[in-house]
């Protein structure tokens, strides 16, 4: 038995294909992206080493980068807070009703499996100044705002709109993860707490919440990384416009890399994105684990 499970040749056969692909297509390019980010490199020239110049430009001289960073962080925080709270509330509500649980679950989860490119088009129509929601508001005599081209405020209106659409699309996914976790909690625990005279709210606070915490780590890191790399909805709803006000990191990377062909500069944006993702996953894992130990 033990000998079979220690079979070196078999281990290599099992691991090697995945390992090699992973290394060639993920890790080697990551090393390359670090190198490119230190180069002056565009599509038609050879990379030329220039040290940290791209990064210096990125952080001192690039207004769009500042907007993109601000928008991406806003988007991440908004998504994390709203999706986790609403997702958890929905999960608790759904586990507490008797009839139609599957129906509601299926409906809420539906947008998450649909293509966000397609839904982006749908919502761009809904928030068009002459269409969709504004037609609806006009019906009641209200003149709707220019949802996707308003540019005043610290976080511009289009970003809020996109964030709400993302919430609409992905809240079902978060809800699903929590439902999974809550249905894993044994029925006896709940029975016991009711017999002890605990109210529903108390049960939620002292029983459900601590027990779903492990899921919160997974859900929150997926959520945060997903928001940082967010591209589809922004591209299909505003394309970063008007005047880059709704650019996020991924659209800025796309514009610099594949519209202006500044590969070196876009690589620097990639590296920033990469580091942010790593930091965020680290923080999420660290913080929530500490809390679990305390309680």
Partner 1 sequence: MKRKLLSVILSVGMVASLLAGCAVSTDTGSGDSDAGAEETATTTEDAATEDEAEDVSASEDAATGEEIEITWMFWDDLEATEDLISKGYKEVIDRFNNDYAGVYHVNVITTNLEEYDTKLNALIAANDTPDIFICNPGPNLTQYVEAGVAADLTDILTNQEKEWYDSFSGGIFERITYDGKIMAVPTNFAAACVFYNTEIFEEAGVEVPTTYDELLAACEKIQAAGYTPISCSAGTAWCLSMVAGYLCDRVGGPDNLAKIESHEMEWTDPTFIEAGEKLKELSQYFQPTAAGDSNDQATAALYNGEAAMLIQGSWAIAQINGNNPDFEQKCGVFQFPAVEGGADPNRMIVKTDNLVMSSTTEHPEAVIALMKYFTDETAQKYTAEVGGKIPVVNGVEIDYTKAPAQLSYVQDILANMTGTFGFYNESLASVEAGDTFDNAMVDIFLGNCTSEEAFQKVEDFYLKEVWE
Partner 2 sequence: METLKKKKTISPIQVLIYIVLSVLVVLFVFPLVWMVNVSLKTNAEVFASPFGLPSVLQLGNYIYAWTKGYLGRAMLNSVIVCGITLIISMFLGSMASFAIARMRWKLSSLVMTYFMIGMMIPVHCVLIPLFVRFSKMGMTNSLIGLILPYITFSLPMTIFLMVGFFKGMPKELFEAACIDGCNIYECFFKIALPLSKTGVCVAGLMTFVGNWNELLLAMVFISDTSKKTLPVTLTYFVGPYATNYVQMFAAVVIAIAPTILVYCLFSNQIVDGLTAGAVKG
**In the complex, which residues of this chain contact partner 1 (CB under 8 A)?**
43-45, 61, 128-130, 146-149, 151-152, 241-244, 258-262
Q: Which stretch binds partner 2 (CB under 8 A): 20-28, 49-57, 76-84, 141-149?
A: 20-28
Cβ-based nearer residue to partner 2, 13 or 154: 13
CB of 31 to partner 1, least distance (A): 20
Q: What 3 state SS string does 25-87 have?
A: HHHHHHHHHHHHCCEECCCCCCCEECCCHHHHHHHHCCHHHHHHHHHHHHHHHHHHHHHHHHH
If one asks whether residue 153 binds partner 2 (CB under 8 A), the answer comes out as: no
Q: How many CA atoms lie within 13 A of 268 on its CB side?
A: 23
Q: Which of residues 56-75 bind partner 2 (CB under 8 A)?
A: none
Q: What angle do CA 96, 100, 106 make, to 5 degrees?
A: 100
Helix axes 157-183, 116-126, angle to 10 degrees: 130
Q: Which of 65, 177, 216, 220 forms a contact with partner 2 (CB under 8 A)?
A: 177
Cβ-based nearer residue to partner 1, 59 or 261: 261
If one asks whether residue 132 binds partner 2 (CB under 8 A), the answer comes out as: yes
CB of 39 to partner 1, least distance (A): 15
Structure tokens at 170: 């992905």
212 in Cβ contact with 178 (< 8 Å) = yes
144 in Cβ contact with 129 (< 8 Å) = yes
CB of 244 to partner 1, least distance (A): 7
Q: Where is 183: in which H helix or E strand?
A: helix 157-183
Q: Which of 81, 180, 192, 283 forms a contact with partner 2 (CB under 8 A)?
A: 180
The binding track of 267-286 with respect to partner 2, each residue x by CB under 8 A or -, is x--xx-xx--xx--x-----
- In whole angstroms, give the CA distance from residue 157 to residue 129: 13
Q: Which stretch binds partner 2 (CB under 8 A): 69-77, 95-103, 203-211, 287-295?
A: 95-103
3-state secondary structure of 259: coil
Q: Which stretch binds partner 2 (CB under 8 A): 69-77, 153-161, 205-213, 218-226?
A: 218-226
CB of 242 to partner 1, least distance (A): 6
């Amino acid at each position: 038995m033990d000998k079979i499970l220690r079979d070196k040749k078999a281990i290599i056969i099992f691991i090697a294909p995945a390992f090699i692909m992973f290394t060639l297509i993920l890790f080697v390019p990551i090393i390359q992206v670090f190198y490119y980010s230190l180069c002056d490199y565009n599509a038609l020239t050879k990379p030329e080493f220039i040290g940290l110049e791209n990064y210096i430009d990125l952080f001192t001289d690039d207004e769009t980068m500042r907007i993109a960073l601000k928008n991406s962080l806003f988007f991440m925080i908004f998504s994390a807070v709203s999706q986790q709270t609403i997702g958890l509330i929905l999960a608790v509500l759904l586990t507490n009703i008797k009839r139609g649980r599957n129906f509601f679950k299926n409906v809420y989860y539906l947008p998450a499996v649909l293509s966000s490119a397609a839904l982006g088009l749908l919502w761009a129509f809904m928030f068009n100044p002459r269409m969709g929601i504004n037609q609806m508001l006009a019906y009641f005599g209200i003149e709707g705002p220019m949802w996707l081209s308003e540019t005043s405020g610290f976080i511009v209106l289009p970003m809020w709109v996109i964030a709400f659409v993302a919430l609409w699309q992905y809240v079902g996914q978060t809800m699903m993860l929590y439902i999974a976790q809550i249905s894993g909690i044994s029925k006896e625990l709940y029975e016991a707490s009711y017999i002890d005279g605990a109210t529903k709210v108390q049960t939620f606070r002292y029983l459900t919440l601590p027990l779903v915490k492990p899921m919160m780590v997974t859900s929150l890191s997926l959520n945060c990384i997903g928001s940082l790399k967010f591209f589809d909805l922004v591209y299909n709803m505003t394309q970063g416009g008007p005047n880059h006000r709704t650019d996020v990191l991924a659209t800025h990377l796309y514009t610099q890399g594949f519209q202006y062909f500044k590969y070196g500069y876009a690589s620097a944006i990639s590296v920033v994105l990469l580091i942010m993702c790593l930091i965020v996953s680290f923080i999420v894992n660290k913080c929530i684990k500490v809390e679990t130990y305390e309680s």
